[in-house]
């Protein structure tokens, strides 16, 4: 697979659709092992003069260990394709099913040393800048806590600089 490096500011993807409707994979590598999870919550914008992405990971997710251990992670987008694979990757833990990526039918590859998937339409390489656990006392209302956190397993927020963006080269 050959990849074409893009300027993040040249991308014209609808991030609301890409994250909320089509989903993304958060992927990192630790000790030569790759783990990934599906996410439909996230954000992109400008912070501290940098292009950034924000990803949210619950504390019990196995992928959190991989993201915590690395300086970088990737966000991979498939443009709405691969929903079945992403459904599996978001519902099964790599802790219980170490071969979940293989079973998903997706194929791990690297772009400039960063793990992602051959089937990707867009890969964002992200360098961690800031991590914080969401705290119940910081919510301004109870509705979100009641709806999204009945187990009190508040997400960790990872704000990361988007250092590179890649799309597959057209043949």
Q: What is this structure's pTM?
A: 0.95
Instruction: Find out whether 127 and 67 touch, Cβ atoms under 8 Å.
Output: no
pLDDT at 20: 93
**pLDDT(132) > 70:** yes
- Interval 72-113: pLDDT, tens: 999 999 998 899 999 999 999 999 999 999 999 999 999 989
Q: Which of 6-15, 34-43, 82-91 has the lowest mean pLDDT?
A: 6-15
Q: How far apart are CA 55 and CA 76, in angstroms?
A: 12
The CATH number covering residue 121 comes to 2.30.110.10
Nearest to 114 by CA among 48, 34, 52, 24: 34
Instruction: Find out whether 22 and 39 touch, Cβ atoms under 8 Å.
Output: no
Backbone angles phi, psi at 146, to 5 degrees: -60, -40
Upper half-sphere CA count for residue 88 (Cβ side, 13 Å): 16
Domain count, the chain: 1
Segments forming the whole domain that contains residue 103: 3-168
For the chain, give the longest Cα–Cα distance.
52
């Amino acid at each position: 697979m050959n990849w074409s490096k893009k300027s993040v500011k040249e991308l014209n993807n609808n991030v609301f659709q890409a994250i909320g409707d089509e989903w993304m994979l958060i992927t990192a590598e630790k000790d030569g092992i790759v783990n990934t999870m599906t996410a439909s919550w996230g954000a992109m914008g400008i912070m501290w003069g940098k292009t950034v992405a924000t990803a949210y990971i619950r504390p019990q997710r196995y992928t959190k260990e991989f993201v915590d251990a690395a300086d970088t992670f990737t966000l991979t987008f498939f443009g709405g394709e691969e929903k079945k694979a992403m459904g599996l990757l978001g519902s099964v833990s790599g802790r219980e099913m170490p071969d979940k990526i293989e079973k998903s039918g997706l194929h791990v590859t690297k772009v400039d040393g960063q793990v992602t998937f051959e089937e990707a339409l867009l890969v964002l390489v992200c360098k961690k800048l800031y991590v914080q656990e969401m705290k119940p006392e910081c919510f301004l209302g109870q509705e979100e806590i009641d709806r999204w956190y009945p187990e009190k397993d508040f997400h960790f927020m990872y704000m990361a600089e988007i250092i590179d963006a890649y799309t597959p080269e057209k043949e």
